[in-house]
Chains A and B, each alone.
Chain A
Amino acid sequence: MLDLINVSYDTQIPNNVGLSSDKKVLKALSKWHPGYLDWWNKLIPQNFQESMVYLRTAVSVDPKGWAKFDYVKMPEYRWGVLLAPQVEGRTIPCGEHAGQPAWQEVPGEYRNLMKRLIVIQGDTEPGSVEQQRFLGLTAPSLYDMRNLFQVNVEEGRHLWAMVYLLQKYFGKDGREEADDLLIRSSGSEEAPRMLGAFNEETPDWLSFFMFTYFTDRDGKMQLESLAQSGFDPLSRTCRFMLTEEAHHMFVGETGVGRTIQATVEAMNKAGITDPYDVGKIRDLNVIDLPTIQKKLNLHYTLSLDLFGQEVSTNAANAFNAGIKGRYMENRIDDDHMLKNDTYKVLDLEDGKIVEKDVPALTAINMRLRDDYIRDAAGGVKRWNKIIEKAGIEFELKLPHQAFNRKIGIFAGHNFDPDGNHVSGEEYDKGITKWLPTHADGDYIQSLMKPVYEPGKYASWIAPPKVGIDNKPGDFEYVKLHMA
């Protein structure tokens, strides 16, 4: 019998989908494989490719087997195709087909819609690795470097996951789409990644932490809604990806938290109580809290744009078709069809922000965004605890949804972070206080000096409270190749 829990290594590609007896897909994946390795090998600087990194690899998809830690060279990482175990008798959770058995094949009528969703999701995975490719050179510790690489290899594996779906279920055009995922490239003029946020640079480690906290959290919400899909292989893929995505959330939340920790500790040690005494604080080689707030404003608002238009017929169609559910669909107590329901969305009327009831079906994006905002607010609360504990008067805040938006109803309008409509002049004046300036970027950049000694950390970031895999503080998470 086919073993669908343990990872099989009987082909070049570790998998729990019986690849060795699925010749057609195995052939397609085998053809795609060298291109992927080539992409990876050209991406990350060579000395890191040769280094031994203490990474987590899944050996099975049940809880006991998906976190085995060991040293591995990244190009030898066991990328593979892993789907969460099939749930017996699973039904389509939402939309007009709710209650029918989940699809094991793609229904013809939804083929294009579904392919597009998978391609967009797939496109973000390599995009973020491309954005982060040079960060290893300025890692504030071997611990952080390891976390970066863990995020990178898992994004790589998520690409594999999407490529498998494309090749297995979408025939020739699926294979072409899979190839294109390796052709598009973050920030490229000719062939950029599909979503804006994945073409922005990740110039420094604070950006990386903010990115993993805010932007990867959008990814998490998208995966959550795809995990509810009536197309069972997509649901199972996304469910397994979510367990990995949690690690990225962890890197983001603790990364920003440790940056704050280092700042408040340094301030207390130097006897500085005014968080706005930026010059003096920067003299301590830590990142001042107002700058952290600006970075937060930037990454949060970029990530809100990823949810698309507030009112969207595409999203309504995907929900109605049962391709995409809502966040924790199975825990929502309603008819899961949204036939007569309404949902409150923000809108602009005469320059004023108002709440409006719209058909809930068209507000799926907005609802997911609201869930996202709630989820993102939790970590901000915990960051503020660190500041509060240190006795410093400062509070980090999520800016208003209308601030700095490029997509949706607020795009093209000037709002300040509190949600006040402001004139162009006021906006230009305020912007240096609201978003990171070149000078802020330069200052952060000046702190980005690598620290490669086990157990040591750059001045601007505090050590973690707990090691990865319960390792002691001076554990050598990356054995650097120094040739």
Chain B
Amino acid sequence: MNKPLKQHLIDPEICIRCYTCEMTCPVGAIEHDENNVVVNADACDFCMDCIPVCPTGSIDEWRVVEKPYSLEEQYEWMELPEQGEVSVAESAEDGTESGEDPVAALLAEAHKGAGGKAKAPASAAKPTVNLYNLANPVEAVVQGNYRLTAEGADTDVRHIILDFQGKPFPALEGQSLGIIAPGTDAEGKAHLPRLYSVSSPRDGERAGYHNVSLTVKREEGGVCSNYVCDLKKGDKVQVTGPFGATFLMPNDPDARLLMICTGTGSAPMRSFTMARQRTVGKKSGGMVMFFGARTPDSLPYFGPLNKVPSSLLQKHLVFSRMPGQDKEYVQDRMRVEEDIVADMLQDPNTHIYICGLKEMEEGVERSFTNIAESIGQQWRNLRDVLREEGRYHVETY
């Protein structure tokens, strides 16, 4: 079976045939006839040189395909074919989330804390969204289910690994997927999918295997979380997605990441960290993390996290229920470490990510306000600029 791949294409309805992309392409992957301008999938190495030089935006089109469209096929096109069986939602087109789609609405709600319409980082990869939906889910097989928190801890957080058996599931770091719990609700209707952030990088939990991991906390009485947390190796699961077109990682290796999270909000941060560890390693611009939990026992990935070198990831693990100590929350530690936060706020390479419970938002905002003030900036203005530039991302629930 062919490995699915992302193919670069040009929208013939929007392209004006100025051939600027063709002149720019350093590897000669773009050519034209009297009809269309086309991209040779065998030659294109995704260097992205053609993207900014296009005056129309028609060049920024991508499809996940089993078999790439040939040049002959592309020459015949009057319009761009849609993604697979399901159309790529509007949301992926403009890098923002909108529309009537309930999943998009859910994500838009989760991203509300950013104070405006969220935008993807400029150098983020183009996400594929809605490849699978309720009418057309994909079946995944559970490869493993591991408890992340200590046996005696007051929370049960699980690391679940799903394998898609060769079907494409091109999830980027920061994207979510939906899981449909079997059975029906009290009214006899099928359960709707619940969203979970992926915690693995784009090339897979195990590099190159394209399997996906999730970080799920067991909620008392929660239908889906109990279903997921009780899954056993070999179980089959109905999955939708990927979803989300803005809470994404910059591909620019020089970018610095400021990550603030609590509990399972660490899932996207884990995916970012692993992705950078695998790709740019020490050449990364660096990452700083403020991660809050009640106790070390209940902090997901406490062990593996401590093994990430601090040259790549500066870790601030913060605990609110340590016996004999004052309660400390992420916002408190940010104030203690205000020098590094201030430094990052002033760096145009910095991207900020906040993920976790809605309750954390207010405190984090307050700390940002104070720290911004200390460098003579008004937080709201700064935040709006950051967000507009795709450098401020909030996902809370």
Chain A interface (Cβ within 8 Å of chain B)?
62-67, 242-243, 246-247, 249-250, 253-254, 374-375, 378-379, 385, 465-468, 470, 472
**Which residues 22-77 of B sit at the A interface, judged by CB distance below 8 A?**
23-24, 34, 48-50, 52-53, 55-58, 60
Interfacial chain A residues near B60, Cβ < 8 Å: 470
CA distance A253 to B13 in the complex (A): 12
- Inside 8 A of A63's CB, which chain B residues have their CB? 24, 49-50, 52-53
Which chain A residues lie closer than 8 Å to B219 at the CB level? none
Q: Identify 14 residue pairs between A and B in the complex whose beta-carbon atoms are under 8 Å apart, listed by A's number.
A: A62-B49, A63-B53, A246-B53, A247-B55, A249-B55, A254-B16, A375-B17, A378-B17, A379-B17, A465-B13, A466-B58, A470-B57, A470-B60, A472-B94
Residues of the A chain whose Cβ atoms lie less than 8 Å from the Cβ of B16: 246, 249-250, 253-254, 379
From the candidates A243, A254, A385, A467, name the one contacting B53 in the complex (CB within 8 A). A243
CA distance A378 to B18 in the complex (A): 10
In the assembled complex, the CB of B349 is this many whole angstroms from the nearest CB of chain A, namely 15
Other-chain contact of A378, B34, B48, B95, B96 (Cβ < 8 Å): B34
- Interface residue from A67, A378, A467 paired with B94 (Cβ < 8 Å): A467
Question: What are the residues of chain A within 8 A of B95 when measuring CB–CB?
Answer: 470
Give the most central of A63, A65, A375: most B CB within 10 Å.
Answer: A63
Q: Does B322 contact A (CB under 8 A)?
A: no
Interface of A is mostly: helix
Rounded to whole angstroms, the CA-CA distance of A44 and B50 in the bound complex is 33
Chain B residue nearest to A150 (CB atoms) is B55
What is the bound-complex CA distance between A242 and B18, given in angstroms?
9
Q: How far apart sit A467 and B94, CA to CA, in the bound complex (Å)?
A: 9
- For B333, list chain A residues within 8 Å (CB): none
Cα A467 to Cα B55 with chains together (Å): 11
Please tell me if the beta carbons of B18 and A246 are within 8 angstroms of each other in the complex: yes
**Interchain CB contact under 8 A, A242 and B20:** yes
B94 smallest CB distance to A (angstroms): 6
Judging by beta carbons under 8 Å apart, are B52 and A67 in contact?
A: yes
| Residue count of chain B within 8 Å CB distance of chain A | 24
Could you tell me the distance between the alpha carbons of A374 and B58 in the complex, rounded to whole angstroms? 22
Nearest 10 CB-CB pairings of A with B: A63-B49, A246-B18, A250-B55, A67-B52, A247-B55, A466-B57, A246-B20, A246-B55, A253-B16, A63-B24
From B95, which residue of chain A is reached at the shortest CB distance? A470
Q: How many A-B residue pairs have CB under 8 A?
A: 58
Chain A: minimal CB distance from B347 (Å): 17
Q: How far is the CA of A64 from the CA of B54 in the complex (A)?
A: 11
Q: Taking A242-B20, A246-B20, A470-B94 as contacts, is the C-beta distance between A66 and B57 under 8 angstroms?
A: no
B280 proximal to A (CB < 8 A): no
Query: Is B190 in the interface zone, CB < 8 Å from A?
Result: no
Q: CA separation between A467 and B58, bound complex, in Å?
A: 11
**Chain B at the A interface: mostly helix, strand, loop or mixed?**
loop
* Further 9 A-B residue pairs, CB within 8 A, beyond A63-B50, A378-B17, A472-B117: A63-B53, A242-B23, A243-B20, A246-B53, A249-B16, A249-B55, A250-B16, A466-B57, A470-B95
A378, B95: Cα distance in complex, Å: 31
Given A246-B18, A378-B34, residue A466 in contact with residue B56 (CB < 8 A): yes
* A247 and B18 alpha carbons, distance in the complex (Å): 9
Chain B residues with CB below 8 A from A67, complex form? 52-53
Q: Which residue of B lies closest to A465 (CB)?
A: B14
State A63–B20 Cα separation when bound (angstroms).
Answer: 10
Q: How far is the CA of A66 from the CA of B117 in the complex (A)?
A: 26
A470-B56 Cα distance, complex, nearest whole Å: 9
Interface flag for B150 (CB, 8 Å): no
A246, A375, A465 interface centre (most CB from chain B within 10 Å): A246
Chain B hits for A472, CB < 8 A: 94, 96, 117
In the complex, how many angstroms separate the beta carbon of B26 from the nearest chain A beta carbon? 8
Does B305 make an interface contact (CB < 8 A)?
no
> Is the CB of B78 closer than 8 A to any CB of chain A?
yes
Using CB atoms, name the residue of chain A closest to B47: A63
For B25, the closest partner residue in chain A by CB is: A63
- In the complex, what residues of A have CB within 8 A of residue B18's CB? 246, 249-250
- Smallest distance from the beta carbon of B144 to chain A beta carbons, Å? 39
Please, which residues of chain A bring their CB within 8 A of the CB of B50?
A: 63
Of all chain B residues, the one with the shortest Cβ separation from A379 is B16
Inter-chain contacts of B20 with A (CB < 8 A): 242-243, 246
CA distance in complex: A385, B36 (Å): 14
Q: Which residue of chain B lies nearest to A58 when distances are taken between CB atoms in the complex? A: B52
Known contacts A63-B49, A378-B34, A465-B14: A250-B94 contact under CB 8 Å: no
Give chain B residues whose Cβ lies under 8 Å from the Cβ of A375: 17
State in angstroms the CA–CA spacing of A130 and B9 once bound together.
39
A176 CA to B13 CA in the complex, in Å? 46
B34 / chain A contacts, CB cutoff of 8 Å: 374, 378
**Bound-state Cα–Cα, A466 to B16, Å:** 13
Of B50, B53, B58, B117, most buried by chain A (CB within 10 Å of CB) is B53
- A66–B50 Cα distance when bound, in Å, is 11
Contacts A246-B20, A466-B57 given; indicate if A385 touches B14 (C-beta within 8 A). Answer: no
Q: How far is the CA of A246 from the CA of B58 in the complex (A)?
A: 13
Q: How far is the CA of A435 from the CA of B294 in the complex (A)?
A: 79
Nearest-neighbour CB distance to chain B for A285, whole angstroms, equals 26
